[in-house]
Amino acid sequence: MSDPVQELKDFKPRKEFFVGIDSDGCAFDSMEIKHKECFCPQFIYHFGLQSVSKYAREVWEFVNLYSKNRGCNRFMAIQYATELLAARKEVKDRHAEVPVLKDLADWCKRETKLGNPAFLAEVERNPSDEMKMIKAWSLGVNETIAWFVKNVPPYPLVEESLQKMTEKADALVVSQTPTEALEREWGEHGIDKYVRMIAGQERGTKTEHIRFAAGGKYPAEKILMIGDAPGDYKAAKANDALFFPINPGHEEASWEKLYNEGLDRFFAGTFAGSYQEELLREFDQYLPEKPGWN
């Protein structure tokens, strides 16, 4: 892609409404397999955490699956995970060395498109041992996902919901997964035909995806984000858009509710207010901020 952000800015409405849809853990039941079988083993291997693998796994899964950081960008997740792991008493007692990711933190403060292309360019400029280690981890994750994650279908009623929403709305995949993986997964199951564009981590943050593609082009009350993580809600709120949560652990029921009533309310203009507030109250109960081991 020549200029991935410009493609979002050039996005032009064809329908009255706009819907952004997250992918991993929202449209697809892929969060558990990706993090437990791909991200976490690469984390333990490349960061030399074999001696505390039990705690490394517990921390990784908390950050990426079972906390309010669920669904965050991988380069933010690796910082959260190393900081939490280093602070654990069990890890200190075993005198395990957990890397301090100073170079990565500096880069994340400067860069908004936190994807592999921008990261690899930074490693070329700053080939420190830390950055090369993170590069090996990130590429290892991508290779493992491409090899391991197959035949993971969308949740029930996802395709039916896409059919229903695209009768009146332009749909866009809004994700922090690499675009290559998104295109492969949506194409594998034949649902890419329902979306106008697939926006991955290379196109910026989820907030930017919505702002560039929909901001000022659709009325705010006609923009909806569908997601399974607090970061998805923050992206919607930053754009004054509406938000429908896919509740972690209750995804099938959430898609059923979206299909049977949520989309109808969105198109009828009765989504905002008490209906959305009740959805958000329920959503907030599912993911804690602090880990249980504290």
One DSSP character per residue, 195-233 reads: -SEEE-GGG--HHHHHHHHHTTTS-GGGEEEEESSHHHH
Say whether pLDDT at 1 is over 60.
Answer: no
Strand partners, 237: none
Q: Which domains does the chain have, with CATH numbers?
A: 4-29+155-284 (3.40.50.1000), 31-148 (no CATH)
User: Residue 3: its pLDDT value, please?
Assistant: 74
Q: Which position has the higher pLDDT, 293 or 212?
A: 212
For the stretch 231-261, pLDDT in tens is 999 999 999 999 999 999 999 999 999 999 9
Q: How confident is the model at residue 115 (pLDDT cuts 50, 70, 90)?
A: confident
**Tokens representing 35?**
């993090």
Q: How confident is the model at residue 2 (pLDDT cuts 50, 70, 90)?
A: low
Distance CA 57, CA 44 (A): 8
The mean pLDDT value for 7-19 works out to 97
**For 35, phi and psi rounded to 5 degrees?**
-80, -40
User: Residue 294: its pLDDT value, please?
Assistant: 73
For the stretch 100-114, pLDDT in tens is 999 999 999 999 888
CA torsion sign for 256, 261, 264, 270 is: negative
User: Residue 113: its pLDDT value, please?
Assistant: 84
Question: For residue 192, which amino acid is it?
Answer: D
What's this model's pTM, rounded to 2 decimal places?
A: 0.90
Distance CA 294, CA 118 (A): 35
**Tokens representing 29?**
């039941």
Q: What is the mean pLDDT of the chain?
A: 95
